[in-house]
Every structure is written in C-alpha cells, then in structure tokens.
Amino acid sequence: MKRERVEHSRNSHGSPLRWERPLQSPPTTAKDAALLNGVLMRTKEAPNSSELVTYAPFTLFPTPVPKAVFQQALDVQTHYNSLVDKISQNADFLQEALASTVEVDDFTSRLFKIHKQILKEGSSQSVVLGLNRSDYMLDQKEDGSSALKQIEINTISASFGGLSAGIVCVHKHILKVAGRLEDSMAILDNNPAAGLARAIAKAKELYRSVRAVVLILVSDTERNIYDQRCVEMELMKLNIFTIQRTFEDVHARGSLDKEKRLFIDGMEVAVVYYRNGYVPQQYKSQQDWDTRLMLERSSAIKCPDIATHLTGTKKVQQVLAQPGVLERFFPNELQVVEQIRATFAGLYTLDMGLEGDKTVAMALQDPERYVLKPQREGGGNNIYGSEICKVLQEAKGSDRTMYILMDKIKPTPSHNYLLRRDSPLTISNCLSELGVFGAYVRQGTEMVMNEQVGHLLRTKSSVHADGGVAAGVAVLDNPLLY
C-alpha cells in the first residue's frame, strides 16, 4: 500500500510535522474539510454565481507564531481602536496630515472633499461604529527574536473576519488526521465575524428604530461573498435584518427624508456597512461619488464614516510615527503611547522640503531596505526595489507626496503548502502577516464598546512582494503558537 508523506517545517515544539497515512491524500482531505466548513469563494469564471464555487485558498498546515508577539498584537488592539476614533474627531489634525496628499492624489482628494462638506453641514448622527483590522509582520532581529511591526490599519471593509472561523476547523481536522492531536487542540478558536456583528448590533440598538435594517454596501462583482455572508448570519442570530446593495442601487432607489433618514426600497437604514468604496475603481462615475456623499449626509450610522475612512490612509500612519504626535491623542497615558509606538516600523515623509528630500536620497541609495506605499487599500499597490528608484526619479514636483516610505520588514520564512484551485502541491518558502480585528461603538463622548474581536493570519510565497487573499496572492492560515 503506497503511503504519501508530506512535511511541514515545524510544529509548536519545533519538530517536523509529517503526514504519513495510507489511503488519504493530504490536499484532498484538506480541500474537502474547507468545503465542509464553508471556507468558500466564488470562481473567477463566474464571480457572481453561487452555482459554481470553490474553496478559498489556504495553507495545508498552520504556521508557527511566537506566543508573546501574538499576545502583544491582541493587547494593543483596543488602543488602536481608541486612536482611530480620536483622530477621526480631530478635523484640524486630518487637515494638517493630509494637506500635501490631497493636492496630488485625486482619490484622497475626493474623499476629503466629502469630509469637508460633512464638517460644514454638521454630522447627522452622534453614534460612531468602527470595525478595523491592524496588520503586522514579525521583523527578525539579529539575536533571532521577532519584533511585531505594523504594516497598516484598515478602517474600511476589513475582510476575512468570516472565513477565519472556518479555517480554524480545517486546521484542527488536518492536524488530527496527521496524528498531531496536541497541536490540533492548540489551535485557538476564532470567530471575528461574531464580534463584528455584535458591534453592528450595538450601533443599531443606539439608532433606536426596531424596524430599520443594516445596509451592506457591496460591489457588483463579488467573489468573496461568503465572508460577508458570515457577518450577515451572525447578525441574523441577533434578529437583525440586512440587505445588500450597490452604489447604483442606492442611487436609483435610495433617498433622504427631511430628517436625513436614509431609505432604500421603502426600508429605513440604521447602519451602512461598507464592503465597497475603498479603491478608486469602485467609483465608476460621478454618480457613485454623489451617492457616497448622500450616504455620508444621512443620519444612518456609517461604518466607517468619512473621517474614519481618511484616518486609515498611509499618510496618517506616517504622521503618527513622528515624535510627539501620539502624545497629542494620549496626553496622560504614557504606557498606551509606548504600546502603540513599539509596533511602528520606520516611516518617512516624502513631502516637499528638506526632510522629504532626505527621504528620497535615502531610498535611492538603498531601495531594497524600503517599501514605497501609495494611499490605497486592497493589496497589490506597494512598490519595491528598483521600481522605487524609477517612481521617485520620474515623479514631477510634488507628485512624490502621493506616497510614503516605510522600512521593509524582514520576517523569518517558514515552509508550507499553499492550496489553490488547479495549482500543483509544492512546498513553498512562505511569509505570513497577522491581522487583529477591532470593534468599537461611541455615542457622543461615551465609548460604549471597545474590543479586540479576533485575528487573521495570511501567508504567501516569498516570491511575491505584495498582495492579499482577495488579490490572489496570499492564502488563509492559522497561527500555531509556541
């Protein structure tokens, strides 16, 4: 009887993980487990059809992650929630931080124009709902230890809070079948969608209309629909009804009444949960921008509101890393400042002037040390290596201020198998990125909810410099703590 043998680099105790069982194909067993546990995506061939689906890409085995840095990421999340909320309320800071960016970046400029319009009119809603995800990599130090360093914080459409629960079940099953019961039991339960839904439910409760619905704003092409459905299902458990609509739907059938209440198809909307609208391509016409403004002007609770959306820009991230800036938001909380600042990588301005000129010279001298980041979400936008030199040398005048420069984080690679539809099973040299989900609700000046609600591990082959799961580069994973 032929026996298959598949090896993973290390388990939580440092010994190799092996699959050595008769009559069971590791990838087939894993894929079946993914399908059984709802780790699903629609296919490229039929992105809007639920008649033909496949498993979302994932690792065959969980990836070892140091327990200390994992806990550090969880512990700092509520502080990041508070920081995002404090920045969103500080119009002067946003104006100052984004002044150079809005001059050259059309997308950020359009968002900021809406922000200014809302400031002029005055907000129609005192309740703020934030669902975000802070992403990190583990930077390898010279002594062999790892330091947690933030890549970015996503304040709009933070995804894979739903499929994260299913991939836990998949890896628990795989480890059991591989004969690693102890490691299987060590995989942490994780259901971010439940926490995200709990925050949406709290916000809706504060809206004080039992019959109002939650509007999930989606794109007209959505392969990652099942991740969104997980949040919907968690809301249904709480007896909250959701509807999915596009910008076009809202424009055609949505309206505001004299009290700025939002209605669509005759239903009052309590919460607008954006799973669309975070990249320029998702605004196909001026009509879509007009619709975004209408949503922001409404008394519905936006997740995120326009100020919180802007808070997630890379430029704000870079400004926060400057000396003394965090203290503006936590003036008497030195420990909080230290916890947040410990996660910062080196971040450098490209604004016009001596400091920006120094950054350009630094990048041109040794581009392999850095990443050039535009004000974009969704993965696949960052610039590396010689391309950094090309972009900076070709940038005219203030065009360089569309970007920030960041130290390139260098994590320790691991070995794993990346399971993708129609791809051969080969071992890959892999890099992983840890995300932590945060959820908060504020009413007026009172923070009524502020929680860390789960985590996400994504892994990609080291041959890829950038890109997430939705972009087709990274795959879903789980941390195996050691």
pTM of the model: 0.94
What pLDDT, on a 0 to 100 scale, did the predictor assign at position 12? 43
3-state secondary structure of 401: helix
What share of the chain in percent tops pLDDT 70?
Answer: 94
Instruction: Please work out, in degrees rounded to the nearest 5, the angle formed at the alpha carbon of residue 144 by the alpha carbons of 140 and 149.
Output: 25
Task: Among 163-172, 212-221, 421-430, name the one with the lowest average pLDDT.
Answer: 421-430
Task: Let me know how many helices (H) and strands (E) the chain has, helices first.
Answer: 16, 23
Q: Any known ligand binding at 380?
A: yes
What pLDDT, on a 0 to 100 scale, did the predictor assign at position 355? 95
Active-site residue 159, yes or no? yes
Q: Any known ligand binding at 110?
A: no
Active-site residue 90, yes or no? no
* Interval 322-369: pLDDT, tens: 999 999 999 999 999 999 999 999 999 999 999 999 999 999 999 999
Active-site residue 182, yes or no? no
Tokens 């030195």 correspond to what residue? 334
Instruction: Please work out, in degrees rounded to the nearest 5, the angle formed at the alpha carbon of residue 439 by the alpha carbons of 73 and 271.
Output: 155
Contacts of 453 (CB under 8 A, 6+ apart): 161, 192, 194, 195, 196, 198, 199, 437, 438, 439
> What domains appear along the chain, each with residue ranges and CATH number?
3-344+419-481 (no CATH), 346-408 (3.30.1490.50)
Higher pLDDT among residues 404 and 471, named by residue: 404
Q: Any known ligand binding at 3?
A: no
> Shortest CA distance to 231 belongs to which of 157, 290, 322?
157
pLDDT at residue 143 greater than cutoff 90: no
Whole-angstrom Cα distance, residue 170 to residue 119? Answer: 47
Active-site residue 245, yes or no? no
Q: Any known ligand binding at 219?
A: no
Which amino acid appears at position 285 of this protein?
S
What pLDDT, on a 0 to 100 scale, did the predictor assign at position 1? 36
Q: Any known ligand binding at 466?
A: yes
Q: Any known ligand binding at 381?
A: yes
Asked if 115 contacts 386 with a C-beta cutoff of 8 angstroms, the reply is no
- Mean predicted confidence (pLDDT) in 53-70: 96
Whole-angstrom Cα distance, residue 464 to residue 238? Answer: 41
Active-site residue 333, yes or no? no
Which amino acid appears at position 335 of this protein?
Q
Find the catalytic residue in 373, 414, 416, 438: 373
What share of the chain in percent tops pLDDT 90?
Answer: 87
Find the catalytic residue in 378, 385, 467, 472: 378
What pLDDT, on a 0 to 100 scale, did the predictor assign at position 49? 94
pLDDT band, very low/low/confident/very high, at 378 (cuts 50, 70, 90):
confident
Active-site residue 338, yes or no? no
Name the region of 91 (left: φ>0; alpha: ψ -120 to 50; beta: rest): alpha
Find the catalytic residue in 204, 297, 314, 400: 314
Active-site residue 110, yes or no? no
Q: Any known ligand binding at 374?
A: yes
* Interval 157-194: pLDDT, tens: 999 999 999 999 999 999 999 999 999 999 999 999 99
> How many CA atoms, within 13 angstroms, populate the side-chain half-sphere of residue 156?
24
Find the catalytic residue in 88, 159, 164, 299: 159
Q: Any known ligand binding at 458?
A: yes
- Mean predicted confidence (pLDDT) in 445-473: 86
Active-site residue 133, yes or no? yes
Find the catalytic residue in 37, 81, 154, 450: 154
Find the catalytic residue in 315, 377, 414, 478: 377
Active-site residue 205, yes or no? no
Task: Among 3-7, 154-158, 431-435, name the one with the lowest average pLDDT.
Answer: 3-7
pLDDT at residue 144 greater than cutoff 90: no
Range list of H helices, 158-239: 163-177, 181-186, 192-207, 225-237
pLDDT at residue 259 greater than cutoff 90: yes
Q: Any known ligand binding at 375?
A: yes
Higher pLDDT among residues 379 and 377, named by residue: 377
In whole numbers, what is the pLDDT of the chain averaged over residues? 93
Q: Any known ligand binding at 469?
A: yes
Asked if 432 contacts 346 with a C-beta cutoff of 8 angstroms, the reply is no
What pLDDT, on a 0 to 100 scale, did the predictor assign at position 146? 86
Find the catalytic residue in 42, 133, 180, 229: 133
Q: Any known ligand binding at 159?
A: yes
- Mean predicted confidence (pLDDT) in 243-260: 98
Whole-angstrom Cα distance, residue 5 to residue 26? Answer: 9
What pLDDT, on a 0 to 100 scale, did the predictor assign at position 471? 61
Q: Any known ligand binding at 239?
A: no
Number of C-beta neighbours around residue 76 at 10 A: 23
What pLDDT, on a 0 to 100 scale, did the predictor assign at position 469? 73
Q: Any known ligand binding at 346?
A: no
